[in-house]
Structure 1
Amino acid sequence: MIADKTPAWWRATMALCLGSFLVFINLYVPQPLLPELKTAYEVSTLGVSLLMSVATLSLAFALLVFGPLSDAIGREGIMRITLLLAGGCSLLLAFAPNFESLLVLRLIQGFVLGGLPAVAIAWMGDAFEKPALLSAVGLYIGANTLGGISGRIVGGAAAEVGGSSAAFIAVGVMTLVGCAIFWRLLPNSRTFSPKRFQLRRAFTDIAGHLRTPVLIAAYCLGGINFLIFINQYSYITFRLAVEPYQLAASGLGLIFLTYLGGTFASTISGRLAQRYSPASCMMAGVVILMLGTAVTLNDSLVLIILGLTINAFGFFLAHSLASSWVGRYAQGARGSASALYLVFYYVGASLGGFWLEPFWQGAGWTGIAWGSWILLSVTLMITLGMRRFERRCRR
């Protein structure tokens, strides 16, 4: 197996980080364009938010397919082919004739984008020694944040020049070029042992994971936190696109630089967990996310940006450790266990608009904050349970 910080570790980790980066520039490129697309297609805030929701929902479904499938046929081919198809979908989005076709293409793109996230952490679990796995997962999730930032910044900047079509073309070309590099960098796992795919066995594995409380805690933590975190960014674009801020698409794209707080949190999460325990750090992450939401209630743009940065740090601290928690406690079928975590994660994202929309309509951004705190109180209780579980394991 690959040892921590060896040349083989760096090559494999950088390949997976690049793949993760490419997935998330495609997933999030429409987000800074939502106010513009809302006006162009004359749809509601909830309607235009479906461009994000349908992609994350179909991505979640794809995880149920690609995770178990990867346990049978291997993981490298799934990651390579789906990444290539995702870049092609971005190019097709640039030429979609109406809003309905945009939704259909985003549905398809979300499905193929699920290929790499479904199996990447399981690939690491097969190929890396345990200390190497913890370090690699932190960097991999840090690449998620960089991809999310870049997709929004590139999308916003390109839209200023040539509209939303230019944004999709720019991201599509970036993806195809990056995909060629990814194919060359990613090594084949030497420790993978394929199992014959059996639909019944796949359902049995999933049912086994869902009967394991220590895994369910991580699944719910990731899903609920992401429901709040990612949809706050959608609604903040509507808040900042109107007076007194009136930010254009490029300015809204730059707001997502606050994700750098999450990049930093992901890269240090492994070290923090070794010092304070994963559950304690996840609890701290939820508390930080609640505090950052409070800061965004201020009308100052500087403090709004600060609050979003705090939110990103807290969310990705908890998310990084919840992901590795699944890899640590899953008993067999790691591919389906990791995929199931991401199913909860992205289903949460797709449902966030339905949860937060009534709060937005009723009280604007203040309502969004209250809607966020209600669910974050639930995840705070989940982390308390995980902490008690850790203490019992030590005893």
Structure 2
Amino acid sequence: MPFIEFGTKEYTRTFLSMLIGSIVTFAILYFPQSLITVFSDEFSISPSTASFSLSFATIALACSMLIISVISNAWGRKKMMGASLLIASILTIAASFSPNFETLIILRVLQGIAISGFPAVAMTYLSEEISPRHYGRILGIYIAGSAFGGFLGRLIASIFTDFFSWHMASLILGILSLAGSLLFLMYLPESKHFSKTALSVQSWAAGMISGLKDRKLLYLYGLGFLFMGVYVSLFNYIGFPLSSPPFLLSHTMIGLLFIFQLTGSWSSVFFGKLTERFSRSALISCSIVLLVIGGLLTLSEQIAVLMLGLILFASGFFAGHTVASSWVGVMSPPKIRTYTSSLYLLFYYTGSSFIGWLGGLFLSSFGWDGVIWMICGFLVFSSILVLKLSWPLSIFKIQKTTHKTH
């Protein structure tokens, strides 16, 4: 069977479908992030507890991804992704009727499990169906969709909460997501290169164990944990200082500030290209510097300076995540590459859940300054991991090869 080539109708259908699926997935996953202040006030809970609305979904997603990709080998790529989107959309509608925070959390856990079916399978589907010459191009569209979906989910949540309530925001997002899910199923071409394989717990376990034996891979998992953790922690709680004096911004204005996260799409592509010329450890070091500077600038009481800080922080995160995740692929033996990618994402989303929750404790105890100093502390630790990865080589050595380089 021939691959899907750029310029064909099938290619157009594929990239539009994957763009829609990516937007739906990450809009549903991240829409509560701009509502943490609302949940804290409405349910009379601490900011760290309110952040469970995001962290419980991400940890459920992380754990589920470890097995969903294996199930898709037996069930089918399109079926798995379509079911993921439909179920997650229906659960988003159901969440709008939550009578209390406990019910909302249960539904968010179920959403995390349902959502996992799309990101766990999407990249595999594209690698199987799209011509290798155009894989990078369409993968960029998928990543752009994830960034835009996260922003759109937060924006919809902020606007409808301002004018109505968070219940209405969840309902509208769920209806729009359901429509997007149906479009995805209608237009995505059926798999032509997929071959069903029997489930094998033994081979899955062996692959996971192999992925945990390499010390340098563990350092990379740790970087994913720290990068995603500090990123989510900052954007989880930035609404608290922004809604307080001297800013006193509305939920809609705070939601609009999340547009700065889209700068990450540019930095992701830019730093991805730089891996062809410079060592990955040097590039990750640069991303850490951007994260530290960006975080410190959010301490300013000047809104323009604070916004610059958000831009630098988002750029640093996407740059670091792009380089670290690609390094996992380069460093991993081909036979276990699927498992090491899954393990990286497990640590990545676990960092989102744990450090995202921890940031709420620092906010309650030490205010916004405490959150930023916590973030800086984790970033210092991430720089130690980079040194361990690059030692004894210089982190500024020009990279001349793409296989197992530092």
Normalising by structure 1, what TM-score?
0.91
Q: Which 10-residue stretch deviates more, 326-335 or 42-51?
A: 326-335
The letter for the 2-side match of 1:169 is: L
Deviation larger for 23-32 or 205-214: 205-214
Kindly report which structure 2 residues correspond to 1:121-270, keeping only aligned pairs within 5 A, or say none: 121-128=123-130, 132-270=134-272
Q: CA RMSD in A?
A: 2.5
Specify every segment of 5 or more residues in structure 2 that has no aligned partner in the other structure, as ranges.
none
1:199 deviates by 1.7
Q: Which amino acid aligns with 2:326?
A: S
Structure 1 residue identity aligned to 2:139: V
Distance of aligned partners of 1:133 and 1:330 in 2 relative to their CA distance in 1, 3 Å threshold: farther
Percent of matched pairs sharing the same residue: 29
Counterpart Cα distance in 2 of 1:206 and 1:79: 23
**1:264-322 superposed Cα distances (whole Å, 9 cap, x missing partner):** 22343433333435444333222211221121121112211111111111111222233
Partner of 2:362: 359
Match of 2:102 in 1: 100
Moved more, 80-89 or 246-255: 246-255
Cα deviation code 1:150-181 (max 9, x no counterpart): 11111100112210111101111111111122
1:111 deviates by 1.0
**C-alpha distance 357-20 of structure 1, shift in aligned 2 (>3 A):** same
What is the rounded CA distance, in whole Å, between the counterparts of 1:153 and 1:326 in structure 2? 33
> What is the alpha-carbon distance in structure 2 between the residues aligned to residue 204 and residue 136 of structure 1?
31
Task: Please give the alpha-carbon distance, in whole angstroms, between the structure 2 residues aligned to 1:325 and 1:6.
Answer: 31
Check the 8 A contact 1:94/1:166 in 2, yes or no.
Answer: yes
Q: Is the 8 A contact 1:122 1:335 kept in 2?
A: no
Q: Which of 83, 107, 110 lines up with 1:81 in the alignment? A: 83
- Aligned letter for 2:300? N
Aligned residue in 2 for 1:373? 376
Structure 1: distance between partners of 2:76 and 2:351: 28
| Structure with the largest fraction of helix | 1
Letter in 2 for 1:369: I
Contact 2:246 2:301 in 1 (8 A): no
Corresponding position of 1:62? 64
Measured in 1, the distance between the counterparts of 2:241 and 2:149 equals 23
Cα distance between partner residues in 1 of 2:127 and 2:34: 35
What does 1:13-28 align with in structure 2 at a 5 Å threshold?
13-28=15-30
Gapped runs of 5+ residues in structure 1? none
1:79 to partner: Cα distance: 0.8
Determine which of 24, 48, 51 is the counterpart of 1:49: 51
TM-score, length-scaled by structure 2: 0.89
Matches within 5 A, 1:25-36: 25-36=27-38
Aligned amino acid, residue 59 of structure 1: L
Worse-matched range after superposition: 181-190 or 8-17: 8-17
**d(CA) in 1 for partners of 2:15, 2:276:** 20
Name the CA distance, whole Å, in 1 between partners of 2:15 and 2:285: 27
Is residue 217–residue 386 contact of structure 1 (8 Å, CA) maintained in 2? Answer: yes
CA distance in 2, matches of 1:122, 1:321: 20
Displacement of 1:226 in angstroms is 0.3
Contact 2:36–2:237 at 8 Å: present in 1 too?
no
Q: 2:350 aligns with which of 333, 344, 347?
A: 347
